[in-house]
Structures are given as structure tokens and as C-alpha cells.
A = this chain, B = another copy of it.
Amino acid sequence: MTARSTLTPEAWIAAATDVLVDQGIDAVRVDVLAKAMEVTRGSFYWHFRDREALLVAVLNAWRDGATEQVIKRFEGQNTDPKALIGELISLPFRGRSAERAARVELAIRAWARRDALARQAVDEVDERRLSYISQCFSALGFPIAEARARAFILYAYEVAESILSQQGTLSQKKERSALLQRLVSTRLD
């Protein structure tokens, strides 16, 4: 069995994502990955035209796993919008997989600071999530513009909770998440 038949494109994407998280985008190079996976550089080109094609695949895999799959799962639940909002707020606390997802996302945001390709993917993902959360608030009866503003506040909290994960004890995190849930649902006169 040759290396090219044992390694899937997904294996290369996973390895590239690991290196991105641990060492940053500059370290994501075909030679580094091939060495880590103990295969020849040549086997890489069986699946990808070049490094850029791999980077596009990494971004697409992130977009799909961290956004489309999550939204699809949410939509499949048929829950009422208030419960959906509660679930969205609890996303940063879903244990090890949420921690891993946060690390990947922060690495991609760091990469996006200096790369147009990653920047575009991040902006699209943010926009897609904000639209989805806005829909939840619209379903609760808030006018469109206000639903969007509330969605931003909820999403800002989610993004910041992963960036500020060092801040506060577990019980403080629970308290602020419960407070946020109440505040974003509170109607103002």
C-alpha cells in the first residue's frame, strides 16, 4: 500500500489545522506536514494542487464544522427560540470539544489579521452566525434592527468568552452566562 492511498485529504486538513493551532500559519508548510505524517511530500500533491489549495480546504472545513453543522443541528431540534438562545449561550461551555473549537477559531482569527483569504472566511462565518442568531431574536418578536443588535451582543459574548476564558471561576462563568441570557431576552420600554 502506498502512502497516497492511506492518507485522505481530511487527514492532511486535520494535520494542517493542528500545526496552525500549535505553531501558527507560517508553520503550515507541505514539508513540515509530510514529515509529521511520515509520508513523502509527493503524496501531498495527490490530493492538493498546492499549499494554497490546502489552506482553502482548512478554511472550508472550519466553516462547515464550526458553523454550518452547528446551525443544521440547531435547526433540526425544532426547539422554541428562547431555548435556542439558551443553547447558543452555552456553546462555549461544551467541554473539551468546545475548547478545541475555540483554539482552532482563535488560530484562524490570528491568521486572518494578515491574510485576505482567511479574513474573508472569518467575515463570512461571523456574518452567517449573526444572521442565524438574529433570526432567533426575530422569532421572539423583536423588530429586525433590534433583533440584529441583540444578536450582536449575544455573539460578542460568545466570541469574548473564548478569548477571555482565563477570567473568572466556573461559578462566575455560570453567573455571567445566566445574566446574559436574561438580559438579551429582556424587553425594554
Contacts and interface: CB of A to CB of B under 8 A. Distances in A.
Copies in the complex: 2
Interface of A: 22-24, 26, 106-107, 109-110, 113-114, 123, 126-127, 130, 145-146, 148-150, 152-153, 155-157, 159-161, 163-164, 166-168, 172, 175-176, 179-180, 182-184, 186, 188
Nearest to A176: B149
The secondary-structure label for the interface of chain A is helix
6 contacts: A106-B113, A149-B175, A152-B164, A156-B161, A159-B160, A183-B186
Contacts of A22: 114
Given A110-B113, A145-B172, A152-B176, A126 B182 contact: no
